[in-house]
Amino acid sequence: MTFRQYQVELGKRIQKARWLLGWSQLTAAEKADLDYRYYRRLEAGKVNPRLETLYHLAHALNRRASELIDVEPAPRGSVPLAEATAEPPPTGRPPKQRRRR
């Protein structure tokens, strides 16, 4: 999936969430405190929204931001991050090597 396709799919998700609420684009833009023209372009997949914008938009649409942006299938065999367990990498600097004389 190209980035452009990703933007279009994101716009479709936003549009679907709005439709589920029965809102117009103007209502959704007002609820998310966004300019109507910007919101229209967002749904059309023509702009790349900031994370903060997605956060506020998702809450206005009564959704999680992850629902809006998760438009791509996970790579085969990968574990979703929410379910993954991992140990943190070692911290600090590696011990200094002694010079041999």
pLDDT tens sequence across 66-99: 889 887 777 788 877 777 777 777 777 766 777 7
In this structure, of 47-51, 59-63, 86-90, the range with the lowest mean pLDDT score is: 86-90
Convert the pLDDT of each residue in 30-44 to its tens digit: 999 999 999 999 999
The SS3 assignment for 15 reads helix
Tell me, what's the pLDDT at 50?
94
pLDDT at 101 over 70: no
Q: What is the pTM of this model?
A: 0.75
Tell me which amino acid residue 34 is.
L
